[in-house]
Chains A and B, each alone.
Chain A
Amino acid sequence: MTAASTAMLGQAWRLSPSVALRPEPFGALAYHFGNRRLTFLKRPEMVEVVRSLGDHRDVRSALNAAGVPEAQWPAYVTALQGLADADLIRPRETTEAAA
């Protein structure tokens, strides 16, 4: 993993407030009402990770809780960075407690 990816594992993130997450048979649909970007989360584990980001102290904990094998973490973190680029997820302020 890149240094940035490794760093992300230890960071606290959450779903952006103007994002709606809608479950679908194959995963979920994430829509950002502000920038109107539409992203499909294609695996149930990915959905669970994204949905629960705000509940965990960091990305690593969310991945563990969702049962994602460590070998798959690089792919998941890359995907999360993609979501961050679209502002679907945002870093939590360090003083914020897990929701």
Chain B
Amino acid sequence: MSSNEPRSEVAEVVDSAEEEPITAESLIEEVSIDGMCGVY
């Protein structure tokens, strides 16, 4: 649906997924929209 595609030069993802325990924290993370430095 999105017109954005990941750029190939940084989309080479090293898949170490099998070794990582899956917790909810490894699936989602909430961030404040105000929580990014560089916005006045």
Contacts and interface: CB of A to CB of B under 8 A. Distances in A.
Interface of A: 21-26, 31, 36-43, 46, 51, 72, 75-76, 78-79, 82-83, 86
From B22, B31, B32, name the one whose CB has the most chain A CB atoms within 10 angstroms: B22
Given A46-B27, A79-B28, A72 B11 contact: no
B24 A40 contact: no
B13 interface: yes
Contacts, number: 62
In terms of DSSP, what is the predominant structure of the interface of chain A? mixed
21 contacts: A21-B2, A23-B5, A25-B7, A25-B10, A25-B13, A36-B33, A38-B30, A39-B29, A42-B26, A43-B17, A43-B26, A43-B27, A46-B28, A72-B22, A75-B22, A75-B24, A78-B24, A79-B27, A79-B28, A82-B28, A83-B28
